[in-house]
Chains A and B, each alone.
Chain A
Amino acid sequence: MDLNTILLWFGILACVYMACNIGANDVANAMGTSVGAKSLTFRQAVFIAAIAEFAGAVFVGGHVSDTVRKGMVDPNLFADTPMHLVYGMISALIAASIWLHIASFLGWPVSTTHSIVGAVVGFGFIAGGADAVNWSKVGSVVMSWIVSPLMGGLVAYGVFRFITVHIFDKRNPVAQSKKLVPYMVFVVFVILAISMVYKGLKNLKLNLDFQNALLISLTVGTIAFVIAKILVHKIKEVAPEDLNQQFISTEYIFKFLQVITAFYVAFAHGANDVANAVGPLAAVASILKTGSVEMKVEMPLWILTMGGTCIVVGLLIWGMRVMETVGQKITEITPSRGFSAEFAAATVVLACSKMGLPISTTHTLVGSVIGVGMARGLASLNIGIIKKIVISWFATVPFTAVLAMLFYKAFLLVLS
C-alpha cells in the first residue's frame, strides 16, 4: 500500500468515527425530544433521521462544509505543498475525534462542530501562521455559537407563547388547534421546501432562481396544508367543559406536528453537522486524487453516503441507549412543548446552515428548550447544563486546536 492510500484510510477512519459520534450523540439529542414526548417510537425516529440527515446533507450541507474546508483557513496557501493540507485536515479530524471521545467519558455536552472548527483553526495557525487563519470568519463562527442558542430560546419562547395564547388559553383548545395546526404545517413545509430547492439542487444540476423556488415551496406548503386539514378533520370534537380531555386531544394533534418537526430537526442537523465529518475528508480525497488544491470541490457521493450511513449506524448502536432512557424517563415534555423547541432549534440551525455558519444543533436545542421553560411551558428544568455547555465552549476549541497542531507536526516529522 502506498502512502496516499494509507493517508486516505486514516482520513476515512477518522471521518467514520466522527460520523458515528454525531449519530450517537447529536442525532440522539435532536430526535430525543420527539421520542421523549412519545410522538415517535425509537424505530420511527431512526427511520426519519436516516432520510432527513441525508436530505439535509445533500441539499443544504454544501455551505457549511465549504466553511469548514476553506472558509477559516485559506487552502491557496497550500498550493505548493498540497500534502500539508492533507496532513492538516487528517490531523483536525483525529484531534476532534479524540476530544469527542474524552467528552463522552466526561458526559460534557460538547459539540462536534466546535471540535472540528477548533482543530482546523489550530492546524491552520501552526501551518501558515496567524495570517493563514481568516479571523473575521472565525469570529463570526464563534459569535454564531453564542447567538444560536439565544435565538433558539427566543424563537421557542415566541412559538410556545403563540400556542399558549391561541390554543391553550381558548375555550375550546381542540377546535382551535384544528384550525391553526394546518397553518403551522404550511410554514414548516414551506421552509423545508425552500431550503431544499433554492440553491440546494446544484447536485442535480437544477439551479432555480428565488421566484421559482418560492413558487414551488408555496405549492408544496399548500398541498401539505390541505392534507393536514383533512387529517385534523378526523379528530373528534371534545366538549369544552371537559378540560382534561381537551388537553389530551390537543397534545394528540401536536404529536403529528412533532413527527414533522422531528424530520425538520434531523434535516437541519444534516445540513449543518454532517459537513463536520465529511468536509475535511472531501478536501483530503480531492487532493490525493488530483495532486493539487482545488477551490471548488464536488462532494463525492461515496463520502456523503458513508457519512450518512455511519451517522445511522452510530445512532443505532449507541444512540439507542440514550433514546431508550429518554423514552422511559422523560414524561415531562409533551408534544406541544417538544414541537415549539424543535421548530425553533431547526429553524435557527437551518438559517445558520444557509449562511454557512457551523453551529451546534445540540446547544441550539438546549437554548430552545430553556426558551419553552421561560414561557412556563415545562414543570421543571435542570439548568445546570448551561454551566456545562459554557465550560465545554472554553475547553473544546483550545484543546482540539492544540491537539491538531501536535498531530500536524508529528505528520510533518514522520512523513517529510
Chain B
Amino acid sequence: MRSIFSMFAKSPFKPLASHMDKVRACVEQIKPLFAAQLAGDYDQVQSVSEKIMQLEYEADKIKNDIRDHLPQSMFLAVDKRDFTQLLSAQDDIADSTEDLAVILRIRHLANPPELKEPLNELVDHVVMSANSACDLIHELENLLEASFGGVEAEKVEKACHQLATYEWEADKKQFVLAQKLFSLDESLSAADLLLWNEVSKKLGAVADKSEQIGKTLRIFLAK
C-alpha cells in the first residue's frame, strides 16, 4: 500500500499524560507515607514505600517507551527538546518521591513532635504543587486543539503563574522546617538530623520540578 498515513505518527502527548498520571499516583502516596512515619507505624511505611517504588517503576516504563518513539523524523507541535525537558521534569518528580520512600526506610527515624506541624504543611503544599502540575499536563490536549493560543493559552499561563507561587511558598515552608529541625540538634541523633534534612530537600525537589513543568509550558506558549 502506498498510503501516506504513516505520516500521522502517534502523538506522544497522550502517553505523556498517562506518564503524568502515574507520577501523580506516586505523589498521592506521599501523604500516607508521612502519616505512617509520624504515627511511628514502620510496617506501614514499608508497605507504602513499596507501593511508591512499584508506581515509579511503572512510570519509568512509560517514560522509556515515549523516548523510544521519538524518532529523528518526528515533527512535534513543540520543540522536541522542550518536550523531553517536560518528560524529564515529570520523571524527576517520581524519582524524588521514590527517594523519600527510600530515605524513610533506611532506619526507624525518630519523630520529634515539633516537626509534625511544619512537615505536614510542607507535605500538603508539595502534593498540591505536583497535582496542579498534573492538571496542567492534562490541559495540553486542549492547548494543542487551540494551537497554543487564545483563551486556553491564557488559562494555562495563569495556572503556570500559580504554580510558580506554590513553589515559592514551598520554599518558605521548607525553610521553616529546616529551622525547626536544626533547633533540635541537641536532642536528635546526627543520623536522624541528616536524614530529616534529606527528606526536606527531596520534598522541595518535588515542588521545584512541578514548577519546572509550568516553566516549560510557558515556553510552549511563547513560541
Contact = CB atoms under 8 A, between A and B. Distances in A.
B71 interface: yes
A377 B147 contact: yes
Interface stretch (B10-18, B37-45, B115-123): B10-18
Interface string A302-339: 00000000000000001001100110011011100000
B191 interface: no
- DSSP majority for the A interface? helix
B73 interface: yes
A253 interface: no
Contacts of A322: 1, 3, 5
Given A164-B147, A169-B146, A332-B10, A380 B5 contact: no
A169 B146 CA distance: 7
Interface stretch (B100-108, B150-158, B162-170, B211-219): B150-158
B2 interface: yes
A375 B147 contact: yes
Nearest to B13: A379
Interface stretch (A25-33, A75-83, A397-405): A25-33
Given A322-B3, A369-B8, A384-B71, 17 more contacts: A100-B2, A169-B149, A169-B150, A170-B150, A170-B151, A243-B152, A322-B5, A329-B8, A330-B8, A379-B144, A380-B9, A380-B12, A380-B77, A381-B8, A382-B9, A382-B73, A383-B7
| Most chain A CB neighbours (cut-off 10 Å) among B2, B74, B144, B152 | B2
Contacts of B144: 379
Chain A, interface size category, equals: 35 or more
Contacts of A380: 9-13, 74-77
B202 to A, nearest CB: 33
| Most chain B CB neighbours (cut-off 10 Å) among A104, A366, A384, A387 | A384
A325 B77 CA distance: 24
Contacts, number: 139
Interface of B: 1-13, 71, 73-78, 142, 144-152, 155
A75 B13 CA distance: 56
Nearest to A29: B4
Contacts of B1: 24-25, 28, 104, 107, 318, 321-322
Given A32-B5, A332-B11, A381 B146 contact: no
Nearest to A163: B147
Nearest to B220: A376
A376 B8 contact: no
A365 B149 contact: no
| Most chain B CB neighbours (cut-off 10 Å) among A32, A322, A330, A381 | A381
27 contacts: A25-B3, A32-B5, A110-B2, A160-B147, A164-B149, A165-B149, A168-B147, A168-B152, A171-B151, A240-B151, A244-B142, A322-B5, A325-B3, A326-B5, A362-B4, A366-B4, A373-B75, A376-B77, A377-B147, A380-B11, A380-B74, A380-B76, A380-B77, A382-B8, A382-B75, A383-B73, A384-B7
